[in-house]
Structure 1
Amino acid sequence: MTALEDRYSAQATVIPHWISETTLWYLRRIASGTNEFVFVDAESQSRRPAFDHALLAQRLAENTSEEVNPSSLPFSWIDIASDGSTVRFYFSGKTFQFRNADGELEVWEGDFGTRLEPLAAEEPSSGGGGEAEVIIMNRTGGTLKVYWIDTKGEAVEYGSVDAGKGLEMKTYVGHVWRVEGQNESERKAFKAVEGEGVAVVEEWGARSGGQDSGEGTKEKRGAEDGDHGVFVRGDDVWVRDAEGEHKITDNSSTGTRYDSDRVLSSPDGNFCVVWEYTPKEGYTLNLVESTPQDQLQPKLTTMSYLKPGDKVRIERPRMFDVQGKCEVPTDDTLFYNPYNLHHLGWSDNGEEYRFIFNERGHKHLRVIGMDRQGAVRAIVEESSKTFIDYSQKMYYLVSPDTTELVWTSERDGWNHLYLHDMETGEVKTQITSGEWVVRDVTRVDWDTRQAWITVYGIVPDQDPYYSHLARVNLDSSEFTLLTDGDGTHSWTWSPNNRYLLDTYSRINQLPVTILRDAASGSQVAELEADDTASLLAEGWNPPEIFTAPGRDGATPIYGIIVQPKDFDPSKKYAVIEDIYAGPHDFFTPKSFTPGLGQRELADKGFVVVKLDGMGTNWRSKAFHDVCYKNLKDGGIPDRIAWIGEAASTRSWMDLSRVGICGGSAGGQSAAAALIFHGGFYKAAVADCGCHDNRLDKMWWNEQWMGWPVDESYAASSNVVHAANLDGALMLIVGELDNNVDPASTLQVVKALNDADKDYEMLLMPGKGHGAGDSEYGRRRRLQFFRRWLGGESV
């Protein structure tokens, strides 16, 4: 079934190649081994074949004496004129040009695409870049192997490209790709740049490989030798002027330090802010690798790993008068006890330094202003009785003249955009409002005073997790929804932002791609239509979208039901819930997903469900707050209500045999289902679970459970309450898990032993986080569920 989904997904996928402000081409994969190049002209609102495929194939066969199939041309990338009049491509060691007007084919000697030069030395990929494309053109006599170099410098095999062929890869700016020939000396590496880049491999020359061992040049802040200004030397702040160097602090006995990377001078240079800090202190995670590959004896790895309650790095900006060679006293009451601070910078007039204060415990978030005289004020103030979702929802953008700030807040119960006046500290405008949320800000144009935003829950009668693109003026006027269609949307922009390609789908519907006018959202041309009917006709059994009220009998909960491939409604099937309930996001897939992960268990004879209960993210603040100091909840009461409602009209769902499985936070929830909700769930597999939030990473757990560590942590602990286990439990953990301390699982084991409870345990040497998702781990999980739940029954 996966091959069928893959084929239709490939056919529906549009990767645009813009060749002018109004024209583009893309390769349409019609079926296995067959494809078509499509040319789109936005101005004429037309979509057509990029050229006469049959005629080009005929001309190419005449020129090369090779058999050429017009439905499977021997190239996947073209260089097409902006008006579509000519098409260039690479084949059999040559670049050809085909003229659409007269159908003539000729050898082309000019440039072909943007050439990528080999790197002098292979390096790790950098992250955070925009979308890009790399085309590997193989002009050698043999097959090339292609590897992606990950951010740690490790090579990940990607594929191969035969002699005379090209390989087109969607990637990101800054990603590094290696190509290798037949022996080790044949190696080159290329880095993706913005847009499209062609890496032509013809001859090898000097080998390009190995990581640069140099540390590079670190950016320096403050005064350079011979310059006037403030700098950090040792543990103190110094000023250099025409009269020499002057130490202006005495930090010998305070235990704090000054950060040489946070020496921030005012525009006129007369004042300077230097950040003081005390280092973090916390838990050291020790991992013992029992079976290392390079030696017989076990190996110890030690790493810093802050846990809830540990000491974070405490930062404090301090103001200095450069001319007076002294500190300007400031009061830290408004930014006392920080979790962290974010630098914003000096105001345009240089009168005030600004930064963001995130309080430990995450109940207060402020934009702080500190002026030259030492006065400190709150420019923006956020507070919550539960938590401020800084880790997922904090967005800020300072205007070019530094007097306005675009800011996100849940102060009215929904995540929305606000425009603040940083001079007065007042809210100028609530830019967006309503019972829906802003997911993120795509871009802001200060000249037109407009923002483009991703929104959830804005279209009535649609799943509130479906993403849409909207535009709104910064004064809140002229809100315009730019996408249309019942599904979750993703989009790419034309180079000048005049057009956008809007692709939408659902878990049970193939993608549709529309070229839209970016200003109005109106349709310019349909590039790929919905062909779900054909997929269904070939025997596709899509996941079922199902919605039912949660624990309160009113709030709709959204999820999917996945049936076995040989589903028989006259039989009864055990039900397994695939759970992940981390409060940072939602997790039920919303778009068409070939090879859906839940199918593996379903196709072994189970009905598999996945849904998002209360306490997960991207709905109302009240919906999210259910998780606060309550991670044991996991939305499980909503899940029980949802599964029960589904089974009430589906006789083939056997509620006497319900299982649950998950990893990481899902592992915590899976075990919690048997500990806190025994009776409904009969069996659970918990992989690498964070079973006690006091043992897990600080940022994630303090965000939702708060600080200081209090009795709520113990109340949510699977370890503390292990004696309440009711059902069959399988625990899986990797000994090298550096995401969740393996001790979290082993402490559950100890508690179960002490309580004389039966369970199964799979310890996986040499494996890290997600060990249970290995092939062996998945096989053992299946055996466990078959043993305790059985499979289908008549």
Structure 2
Amino acid sequence: MRFLSPRLLLSVSALMVTQAMYAQQQKVVPYYPTSQQILESYIRQNKLDSTLKTIPLNSRINANWQGDAFWYVKRLAGNGQEYEYMNAVTGVKSKVFDQQRLVEGIKTATGKKTDATKLNISKMFFNADKSAITFKKDTTWLQCNLSTYQVTKTTDTLHDFYDNEKPLQSRTYRWESVQRDSISPDKKWAAYAKGGNLFVKEIGSGKESQITEDGTLDHPYGEFSWSPDSKNVIGYLIDPKKSKEVYFVLSSVPGTTRGQLKSHEYDQPGDEFTSYTPYIFSIAEKRKIKVDIDKIDFFGAPEAHWRKGSSRYYSYERVDRGHQRFRVIEVDVTNGNTRNIIDEKTKTFIYEQRIYTRYLPDTHEIVWITEQDGWRHIYLVNDVTGTEKLITKGDWVVRDIDSVDSKKREIWFTASGMNAGEDPYFIHYYRIGFDGKNMVDLTPAKGNHTVFFSPDRKYYLDTYSEVNVAPVTELHETGSRKKIAEIEHTDMQPLLATGVKLPEVFVAKGRDGKTDIWGVIYRPSNFDSSKAYPIIEDIYAGPQDSFVPKSFSPINEMQSIAELGFIVVQMDGMGTANRSKAFHDVCWKNLADGGFADRILWIKAMAKQYPQADTTRVGIYGTSAGGQNSAAAVLFHPEFYKAAVSACGCHDNRIDKQWWNEQWMGYPVGPHYEQQSNITNAGKLKGNLLLIVGEADQNVPPESTYRFADALIKNNKDFDLLTVPGANHTDGGPYGRRKKRDFFVKHLLHVDAPGRDIGEH
């Protein structure tokens, strides 16, 4: 049992007096439940969580297309299913089959009894005249005559199943290895490394020629690719650097009596990378030409993009370490001279993972996305002249490219923030001409959209919703955008019958007094407007994205936590993505900021409008980067945040992965890394803190949490620590989530959690 010191008892008493005065001013009473009331809250929470999992949502229709029609599975209450058939030409929807007759046929064919509402068919297709279906039930393929419902086992299962989620146009990412072919395009030569040097061999005669002589096994030539005319090889002199390792111990491996030491390679900020010096090798002349450019010391050897109709020029992409310069560089293979086709520089960062380039060799153009005008937009670049043309423009954000149609000279893309009066994070789908004209919104309805096209792109399914508005799925004809039919519209009554409160979208001004900060509010189902509830913030302030939910979902951890007697909130503060470049730039060399200046103002504005939100009792929790943020809250803002749960946090950006941290904190590693570290600032802890870590975390090394704990101990700070044996990057799983809730109940509601399995109640 943990006893409170007299000083701490006085502090708690003073806090409760302050809370009572605050509540009295607002004409509400602070909510402090009894042990019995808390037990009832846990029971209600468990029942609600279980009930919500059984409510059919149908927010993601997986269309299985065959020609101009598709079938899909409709979810029913109690995890049942029925199978719908949609004819896109007629706009008529019908059942695929009589489910009761089908299960009788299955029983006759297999001897197995099946629930008609739980067929669980994973794959199915029609024969040519739609008179029969072939389907997979468990591991058995069956065929059913839809006139007689005679079912037979079959092996005739050849069918081209279309993946709705597969992108129309694939793309490569800069941290992935480039696929290279050692055989020349004319199939006459093979290029390979031997003893660190480049050799080529005539495939017909087997005659071998050595092209380089200064390569070694320690510094070899490699990463070879051919020019289109098979006369030159592009390659690199490589200076290899082995990645350093990080370690962890598996303490509880079954059948052992000793912990097992494990390690894996893991680059951290400042670590040295393998470098590549580019060369051109002439096969006929057996000579090399060094490309007139510095060695590449970040990412790997890049892919060569050859200009159509020429074996003289190729270009490659280069991201400088530190993420402040991006180039597309043209190389003349006759002399190694270079020219920058694209050369983007910034004083903060270029978000490398969202750089988009698509090369159009037929027209000597590059489709490129950049934030150089302050918003993420699409440009068309002539790769001969280097001229740039802005295709999209405005105070809104291009989110992604769906496809580029070079023949029709159209770009299909997603964007946010274009529609006035909407949440600026809502995703809509558009197409636009290369000339920036004739932009069409494929998804004009208000909401957050997800679109899937038919294989021939004649049709598309548009599903849209809001966090508190049920999802609708519509079928549209692509060319005209005409709505053919409403496929599904989720019925809210089963959800509302549980008593659950739908979340509320709330908007308040950020630190500059101008920018809107968007967030959500979750309340308990038995919310009492005469009570003032503690506030808990779910935080993830990682700059790589935005994180507040925008689509409807009845199952949400925030709602689950709210059931225990809290108001739970989440918002995207400055420093996160998907808004303007200036909004995003707040994070630059400044991850400790975490958007807290905006978050605190948002919560205070929410409490001003809703006096049931008690700003004297504010907790916060997060995982990974959110674990860093939540711990930072009680280090840097303890006057506001009183309790924090931090799971597998990257508490010092020097310990975490190189690619993520250098992207936002910059390179080289400077004193700001140490100054913003939770470990360095451990002595500032006030309030209550629970640390959770998986001992086998391979995403953020577990020593990040252990070093933080060590610093807290050395500063004589009280905190709680939960290590989960064998767990990887995690919030602790079901056990950790229960401990998190118990922690907030104790420190914000000032009552002990039930502390036992409440399922029996």
Q: TM > 0.5 between the two?
A: yes
- For 1:53 and 1:230, the matched residues in 2 are separated by 60
Aligned equivalent of 1:19, options 66, 72, 87:
66
- Per the alignment, residue 503 of structure 2 pairs with 543
Say yes or no: does 1:674 pair with 2:634: yes
Say yes or no: does 1:251 pair with 2:214: yes
- For 2:98 and 2:614, the matched residues in 1 are separated by 57
Taking structure 2 as the reference length, the TM-score comes to 0.83
- Per the alignment, residue 745 of structure 2 pairs with 786
Q: How does 1:640-679 map to 2 (within 5 A)?
A: 640-679=600-639
- For 1:130 and 1:707, the matched residues in 2 are separated by 44
Given the superposition, is the C-alpha separation of residues 484 and 246 from structure 1 closer, same or farther in structure 2, using an over 3 Å criterion? same
Say yes or no: does 1:511 pair with 2:511: no
- Which amino acid letter does the alignment assign opposite residue 588 of structure 1? V
How big is the shift at 1:130? 7.6
Aligned equivalent of 2:719, options 741, 755, 759:
759
Say yes or no: does 1:364 pair with 2:325: yes
Given the superposition, is the C-alpha separation of residues 458 and 742 from structure 1 closer, same or farther in structure 2, using an over 3 Å criterion? same
Deviates more, 1:560-569 or 1:701-710: 560-569
1:56-89 Cα deviation digits (max 9, x unpaired)? 689979999x999998486757645678676677
Aligned equivalent of 1:288, options 222, 229, 249:
249
- Which amino acid letter does the alignment assign opposite residue 674 of structure 1? V
Q: How does 1:31-46 map to 2 (within 5 A)?
A: 31-32=77-78, 35-46=81-92
- For 1:81 and 1:554, the matched residues in 2 are separated by 60
How big is the shift at 1:327? 1.2
Q: How does 1:69-108 map to 2 (within 5 A)?
A: 72=117, 76=121, 79-80=125-126, 95-99=143-147, 105=149
Q: Contact 2:81 / 2:120 at 8 angstroms: preserved in 1?
A: no
How big is the shift at 1:789? 0.9
- For 2:103 and 2:711, the matched residues in 1 are separated by 74
Secondary structure of the residue aligned to 2:304 is strand
- For 1:529 and 1:227, the matched residues in 2 are separated by 60
Q: Contact 1:340 / 1:359 at 8 angstroms: preserved in 2?
A: no
Q: How does 1:348-747 map to 2 (within 5 A)?
A: 348=308, 349-372=310-333, 373-391=335-353, 393-401=354-362, 403-427=364-388, 429-532=389-492, 535-537=495-497, 539-747=499-707
- Per the alignment, residue 215 of structure 1 pairs with none
- For 1:340 and 1:637, the matched residues in 2 are separated by 39
Secondary structure of the residue aligned to 1:693 is coil
- Per the alignment, residue 320 of structure 1 pairs with 281
Secondary structure of the residue aligned to 2:456 is coil
How many residue pairs get aligned? The number is: 686
1:133-154 Cα deviation digits (max 9, x unpaired)? xxxxxxxxxxxxxxxxxxxxxx
Say yes or no: does 1:775 pair with 2:734: yes
Secondary structure of the residue aligned to 2:146 is strand
Given the superposition, is the C-alpha separation of residues 295 and 89 from structure 1 closer, same or farther in structure 2, using an over 3 Å criterion? closer
Taking structure 1 as the reference length, the TM-score comes to 0.79
Given the superposition, is the C-alpha separation of residues 80 and 281 from structure 1 closer, same or farther in structure 2, using an over 3 Å criterion? closer
Percent of pairs identical after alignment?
37
1:712-731 Cα deviation digits (max 9, x unpaired)? 21221111122222221222
Q: How does 1:39-58 map to 2 (within 5 A)?
A: 39-50=85-96
Structure 2 unaligned spans of 5+: 1-47, 168-178, 753-761
- For 2:134 and 2:657, the matched residues in 1 are separated by 54
- For 2:112 and 2:312, the matched residues in 1 are separated by 74
- Which amino acid letter does the alignment assign opposite residue 556 of structure 1? D
How big is the shift at 1:247? 3.5
How big is the shift at 1:533? 5.3
- Per the alignment, residue 36 of structure 2 pairs with none
- Per the alignment, residue 195 of structure 1 pairs with none
Given the superposition, is the C-alpha separation of residues 235 and 111 from structure 1 closer, same or farther in structure 2, using an over 3 Å criterion? closer
Given the superposition, is the C-alpha separation of residues 639 and 483 from structure 1 closer, same or farther in structure 2, using an over 3 Å criterion? same
- For 2:629 and 2:498, the matched residues in 1 are separated by 38
- Per the alignment, residue 259 of structure 2 pairs with 298
Q: Contact 2:55 / 2:78 at 8 angstroms: preserved in 1?
A: no
Q: Contact 1:580 / 1:587 at 8 angstroms: preserved in 2?
A: yes
- For 1:48 and 1:4, the matched residues in 2 are separated by 29
Superposition RMSD in Å: 3.4
- Which amino acid letter does the alignment assign opposite residue 279 of structure 1? P
How big is the shift at 1:507? 1.6
Given the superposition, is the C-alpha separation of residues 10 and 360 from structure 1 closer, same or farther in structure 2, using an over 3 Å criterion? same
Q: How does 1:267-286 map to 2 (within 5 A)?
A: 267-286=228-247
How big is the shift at 1:220? 6.0
Secondary structure of the residue aligned to 2:547 is coil
Secondary structure of the residue aligned to 2:303 is strand
- Which amino acid letter does the alignment assign opposite residue 402 of structure 2? T
- Which amino acid letter does the alignment assign opposite residue 417 of structure 1? I
Aligned equivalent of 1:131, options 151, 163, 185:
163
Please identify which structure carries the higher strand content: 1
Secondary structure of the residue aligned to 1:489 is strand
- For 1:105 and 1:220, the matched residues in 2 are separated by 52
Given the superposition, is the C-alpha separation of residues 329 and 479 from structure 1 closer, same or farther in structure 2, using an over 3 Å criterion? same
- For 2:211 and 2:324, the matched residues in 1 are separated by 36
Q: How does 1:152-191 map to 2 (within 5 A)?
A: none
- Per the alignment, residue 214 of structure 1 pairs with none
- For 2:153 and 2:648, the matched residues in 1 are separated by 58
- Per the alignment, residue 755 of structure 2 pairs with none
How big is the shift at 1:3? 5.0
- Per the alignment, residue 185 of structure 1 pairs with none
Given the superposition, is the C-alpha separation of residues 251 and 650 from structure 1 closer, same or farther in structure 2, using an over 3 Å criterion? same
- Which amino acid letter does the alignment assign opposite residue 38 of structure 1? E
How big is the shift at 1:48? 3.6
- Which amino acid letter does the alignment assign opposite residue 16 of structure 1? A
Q: Contact 1:482 / 1:522 at 8 angstroms: preserved in 2?
A: no
Given the superposition, is the C-alpha separation of residues 221 and 34 from structure 1 closer, same or farther in structure 2, using an over 3 Å criterion? closer
- For 1:296 and 1:463, the matched residues in 2 are separated by 56
Q: Contact 2:297 / 2:321 at 8 angstroms: preserved in 1?
A: yes
How big is the shift at 1:363? 0.5
1:228-264 Cα deviation digits (max 9, x unpaired)? 46432222223456895444434357953222xx211
Given the superposition, is the C-alpha separation of residues 249 and 583 from structure 1 closer, same or farther in structure 2, using an over 3 Å criterion? same
- Which amino acid letter does the alignment assign opposite residue 221 of structure 2? Y
1:91-110 Cα deviation digits (max 9, x unpaired)? 999743234xxxx6556798
Given the superposition, is the C-alpha separation of residues 82 and 537 from structure 1 closer, same or farther in structure 2, using an over 3 Å criterion? farther
Secondary structure of the residue aligned to 1:598 is helix
- Which amino acid letter does the alignment assign opposite residue 275 of structure 1? Y
- For 1:364 and 1:374, the matched residues in 2 are separated by 22
Secondary structure of the residue aligned to 2:496 is helix
- Which amino acid letter does the alignment assign opposite residue 746 of structure 2? R
Q: Contact 1:634 / 1:669 at 8 angstroms: preserved in 2?
A: yes
- Which amino acid letter does the alignment assign opposite residue 349 of structure 2? F
How big is the shift at 1:435? 1.2
- For 2:208 and 2:285, the matched residues in 1 are separated by 13
Given the superposition, is the C-alpha separation of residues 88 and 229 from structure 1 closer, same or farther in structure 2, using an over 3 Å criterion? closer
- For 1:674 and 1:388, the matched residues in 2 are separated by 31
How big is the shift at 1:355? 0.9
Structure 1 unaligned spans of 5+: 117-128, 133-170, 174-217
- Per the alignment, residue 167 of structure 1 pairs with none
- For 2:653 and 2:477, the matched residues in 1 are separated by 48
Given the superposition, is the C-alpha separation of residues 82 and 591 from structure 1 closer, same or farther in structure 2, using an over 3 Å criterion? farther
Instruction: Return the structure number with greater relative CO, CA threshold 8 A, min gap 6.
Output: 2
Q: Contact 2:107 / 2:114 at 8 angstroms: preserved in 1?
A: no
